[in-house]
Each structure stands twice: as C-alpha cells, then as structure tokens.
Amino acid sequence: MKIYINGKYYDENNATVSVFDHGLLYGDGVFEGIRAYVGRVFKLKEHIERLYYSAKAILLTIPMTPAEMTEAVIDTCRQNNIIDGYIRLVVTRGIGTLGLDPVKCSKPSVIIIADKIQLYPQTVYEEGMKIVTVPTTRNFHNSLNPAIKSLNYLNNILAKIEATNAGAEEAIMLNSEGFVAECTGDNIFIIKNNDLLTPPLYAGALRGVTRLAVIEVGKQIGLNIIETNLTRYDLYNADESFLTGTAAEIVPVNAIDGRIIGEGKCGPITKKLLEQFHILTKQSGEPIY
C-alpha cells in the first residue's frame, strides 16, 4: 500500500508521523472518510468542501488548494489500484512543542490512505442491528461543535464503549436537551408512514455526506423529508429506522433499547433506499482512471 504524506508516497511500513505532531498529541486536526465505487470517488467535492469548512472552524490553514487536494486523493487511489475502496484523508496541525499553542506548529501535515473496507457483514444489511441509547452526551455546540469533523473523537469513542458494554454495535447519543443527536459514527433516520425523519444539524448531527445523499434519494422516491427534533419515544414507535455513514452506507436498525422496530428486520422503504443509493454510487463520482 502507498500512503500519501505531504506530497510524497511511502510504503505502509515506512509511513510515519512525528511524535511531536499535534494531531497525535492533542487530536488537533480534521479528517474525512470517503468512498470509491467502480473506479469513481463518490461525492468527493462535498467531502473536500466539508474538510475545508472543518479546518476553517479550528483556524487550521490547509497547505493545498481544494483542487490540489482533490487531485492528491485521486492520485492516491491510482497508486493503490483502487476500484472499490475507502479513503481516509487527514490534516493535522503539524509538528509543534509539547505545549498546546498551535501557533508553534511549523506546518500542517496532509495524510491520505486509500484501502478497502467492510464495516459490517452482509447479514446486518438484511436483518438489521440492535442499537442502544448511552449516557454520554453529544458535544455541546459551544464546546467542540459536532459539525467539525475533528481528530478528537473521544466523545464518540466513549459512547461506542458504552454500546459495546451493553452488547450493542452502535450507540444513540442525545444532546444536552435530551433530543436525539446522532450515533457514534453515523447519522440516524426513522420512517413513519411516508415521512423520512432525521435530527436537524442544530441538534448535534454531523453534516453527513451520505445523510444528504439519502435525503436526495428519499425525495426521488416520494418520501416527505422532515428534519426535526426527535425523542427516544419517536424512535421506539418508528415503522423503520436506519443509520447512514460513508463507511456504513445505509444500515437497517431492528431494535432500539430493546424495543423491536417495525418487523425487526430491514423494512421495505429502507430496502428501496438502499437499492437507489447503490444505483447512485455507481452512476456518479470523480473518475479515478
């Protein structure tokens, strides 16, 4: 595997960063997870745009233009012969001192990894997964804004640990007001009658690229799209529920906090969304070759 670090490619065993990099020392940086399907990078423009928005929010100046970053992502895919795969794009604050001061970091580092990924087995997409609500609250907007896709993922990791301890694969995180925000690595949706509902961004939901793609697909198949505050009561009484994320795609949910959702498996509307989403991934994206 060839890994891109600051304009050069390194073998996997030689791809290293300094122990003084603030991305390692303090989680000071931003990242994106991106998918490639049939030789195309899906929604690359949207991912690059979100990366630069996250960087701007933490006053991190990326040492490349968006066009240069786009080309670097595509070239890294070429270097690794990617047809279907997963790309992790990371920008750290760079090498600095043991102090917090980001001004003392010399130059941000850009790292691009292109590899394969399968987050869940195929049975999960047919039967669904069980998820639970956990005590860890989603970050407040006035602390570390959930819209920033930062390298500091400890909030999500703590929630993931709680889900694992409860015997579940994913966790629902609530915001400080008790409304549903998102899961540890995915956005959450429910279906009620012909309505497709999901928490609004101000509730603490990440501006998910797959989230937006599913909303687009939902409109195309005639669903009413509603972004609104949701409580656990709303989730428990949904006809169907599913999670969305770049790596996970669309994952059906069959139970929440022990309550069976719908028929306890992938529902008909979720299945239709999955089918249409897969068609979209094969028809659009930036060509690698």
Residue numbers annotated as active site: 149
Paired residues of 5 in beta bridges: 8, 111
Q: How many CA atoms lie within 13 A of 177 on its CB side?
A: 11
Give the residue among 15, 1, 7, 14 at the shortest CA–CA distance from 82: 1
Distance CA 174, CA 183 (A): 9
Q: Tokens 């990617």 appear where?
A: 82
Q: Give the burial string for 28-61 (b: 16+ CB within 10 Å, else e).
A: bbbbbbbbbbeebbbbbebbbebbbebbeebebe
What tokens does 177 get?
């007001």
Contact 113, 3 (CB under 8 A): yes
Distance CA 272, CA 289 (A): 30
